[in-house]
């Protein structure tokens, strides 16, 4: 039996195109792969894709969760600016 460990993710808010661009620019400086998913994790997009992130921002704006696909639980410190308290 394989045990799947849940991943740690950061609940974030992006409210404008300017924020999306700034967020992606910072994220692209990271070597790891990242996704943004909704609350259930059944909709995911590449977090370094402008089109993907804009789609999620419009489709489920209150449910944006950043996931590090390379190293579960490792979230860059700049993301703290975008976290929902």
The domains of the chain are located at 9-82
The reported pLDDT for the residue numbered 85 is: 81
**Helices within the chain (DSSP H only):** 17-27, 50-59
**Helices within 3-84 (DSSP H only):** 17-27, 50-59
Q: What is the CATH number of domain 9-82?
A: 3.30.1340
Q: Kindly indicate the confidence band of residue 55, based on its pLDDT and cuts at 50, 70 and 90.
A: very high
Mean pLDDT of 26-50: 95
The reported pLDDT for the residue numbered 20 is: 96
Strand locations in the chain (E): 9-12, 34-37, 44-46, 64-68
Mean pLDDT of 38-61: 93
The reported pLDDT for the residue numbered 51 is: 96
Mean pLDDT of 8-20: 93
Please give the share of the chain, as a percent, with pLDDT higher than 90. 75
Mean pLDDT of 67-77: 90
Do the beta carbons of residue 65 and residue 71 sit within 8 Å? Answer: no
């Amino acid at each position: 039996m394989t045990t799947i460990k849940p991943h740690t993710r950061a609940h974030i808010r992006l409210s404008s195109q300017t924020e999306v661009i700034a967020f992606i620019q910072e994220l692209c400086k990271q070597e790891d792969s990242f996704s943004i998913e909704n609350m259930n994790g059944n909709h995911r997009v590449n977090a370094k894709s402008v089109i993907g992130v804009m789609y999620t921002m419009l489709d489920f704006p209150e449910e944006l969760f950043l996931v590090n696909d390379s190293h579960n639980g490792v979230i860059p410190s700049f993301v703290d600016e975008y976290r929902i308290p």
